[in-house]
């Protein structure tokens, strides 16, 4: 049995190289956060994120996600967490690749200086928001992915910024993408409490000027037949998720908050299914997958993270048959 048929394992290698060796239609969903463009130096040769231009970065990631497309089952989904970057000057020094060699595991301090890479951006002026998430989403849509939703991760505790000419950035995108037009999505598994109790009433069209909603959009009147669809005080999950950034210190500095990816895994992968993360980092995807009786497969280029992942997941890899 080939090692790329294994599950509950994180392969220490370049994700594109590894994905190419995986069987087609193998995993149920993919939950991942690739390195952001020009933001961090993970200290390993071959890492993604330090390309000379945003297009180079997008093209490289597109290659990876087209392999993800192949290994995903036909009803599978991709949950892609991706942040934006600003085009900056060339005042500081990214110092890549010297920096990468110096910061072997030390990416906790590895923020890339003033992003030398951006000097190659031709269509962005200094200070422009590049629009990386949407560039990525459109590139994947063009290649066949269904772009189903842009979920906003509202960060309750964003990184403070010293800017005074714009607001502090407090969100990132989670793109929900699918391989087919219909796909596995367990909406019941991620319902949220309805904010206000539904009020059962008669048709209120005449009472509210033809609109059955009151001024408070969360309070609404329903006819008895509509009430039959009420899910016991629960409602369909909304597309803005307020989650604090991870407080995990000292391991890896771009760790997913567990709470952020739990709904992705619960809605996107059936029990005993397989969740893929091609950029495993400290292993949050693997840990959450195991917590909810799902399996995982991952790739991570930096060998220093593999021990962390193994400690977090505490599983023995076994062969998938």
Contact set with ligand SAM (CB under 6 A)? 14-15, 33, 35, 42, 44, 46-48, 252, 254-256, 279, 281-282, 284, 299-302, 305
DSSP class per residue in 85-129: -B---SSS---TTHHHHH-SS-GGG-B-SS-GGGGG-SS--TT-B
17: helix, strand or coil: helix
Q: Which is nearer to ligand SAM, 179 or 252 (CB)?
A: 252
Cβ distance to ligand SAM smaller for residue 204 or 245: 245
Closest CB 157 distance from ligand SAM, rounded Å: 16
Nearest distance from residue 7's CB to ligand SAM, in Å? Answer: 18
Least CB distance to ligand SAM at residue 309 (A): 9
Structure tokens belonging to residue 106: 């030390």
Q: Minimum distance between the CB of residue 308 and ligand SAM, rounded to whole angstroms? A: 8
Q: Minimal distance in Å, beta carbon 255 to ligand SAM?
A: 4
Give the alpha-carbon dihedral of 69, 73, 77, 82, to 10 degrees. Answer: -30
* Closest-approach residue to ligand SAM (CB): 281
- Nearer Cβ to ligand SAM, position 221 or 241? 241
* Nearer CB in complex with ligand SAM: 46/74: 46
Phi, psi of 238 (to 5 degrees): -80, 170
Cα angle value 193/194/195 (rounded, 5°): 105
Nearer to ligand SAM, 14 or 84 (CB): 14
CA distances from residue 247 to 13, 158, 259, 272 in whole angstroms, order as listed: 27, 12, 12, 29
């Amino acid at each position: 049995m080939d090692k790329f048929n294994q599950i509950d394992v994180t392969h220490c290698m370049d994700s594109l190289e590894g994905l190419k060796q995986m069987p087609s239609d193998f995993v149920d969903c993919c939950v991942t956060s690739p390195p952001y463009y020009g933001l961090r130096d993970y200290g390993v040769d071959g890492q993604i994120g330090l390309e000379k231009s945003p297009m180079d970065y997008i093209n490289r990631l597109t290659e990876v996600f087209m392999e993800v497309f192949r290994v995903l089952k036909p009803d599978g989904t991709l949950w892609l967490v991706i942040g934006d970057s600003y085009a900056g000057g060339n005042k500081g020094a990214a110092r890549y690749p010297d920096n990468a060699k110096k910061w072997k595991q030390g990416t906790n301090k590895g923020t890339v200086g003033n992003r030398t890479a951006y000097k190659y951006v031709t269509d962005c002026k200094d200070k422009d928001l590049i629009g990386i998430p949407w560039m990525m989403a459109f590139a994947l849509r063009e290649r066949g992915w269904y772009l189903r939703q842009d979920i906003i991760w509202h960060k309750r505790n964003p990184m403070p910024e010293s800017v005074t000419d714009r607001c502090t950035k407090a969100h990132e995108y989670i793109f929900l993408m699918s391989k087919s037009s219909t796909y596995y999505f367990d909406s019941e598994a991620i319902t949220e409490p309805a904010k206000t109790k539904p009020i059962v009433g008669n048709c209120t069209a005449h009472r509210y000027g033809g609109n059955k909603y009151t001024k408070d959009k969360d309070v609404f009147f329903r006819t008895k037949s509509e009430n039959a669809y009420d899910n016991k005080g629960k409602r369909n999950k909304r597309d803005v998720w307020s989650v604090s950034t991870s407080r995990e210190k000292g391991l890896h500095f771009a760790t997913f908050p567990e709470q952020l990816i739990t709904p992705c895994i619960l809605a996107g992968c059936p029990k005993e299914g397989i969740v893929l993360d091609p950029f495993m980092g400290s292993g949050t995807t693997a840990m959450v997958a195991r917590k909810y009786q799902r399996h995982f497969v991952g790739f991570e280029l930096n060998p220093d993270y593999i021990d962390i992942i193994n400690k977090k997941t505490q599983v023995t890899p076994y062969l998938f048959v």
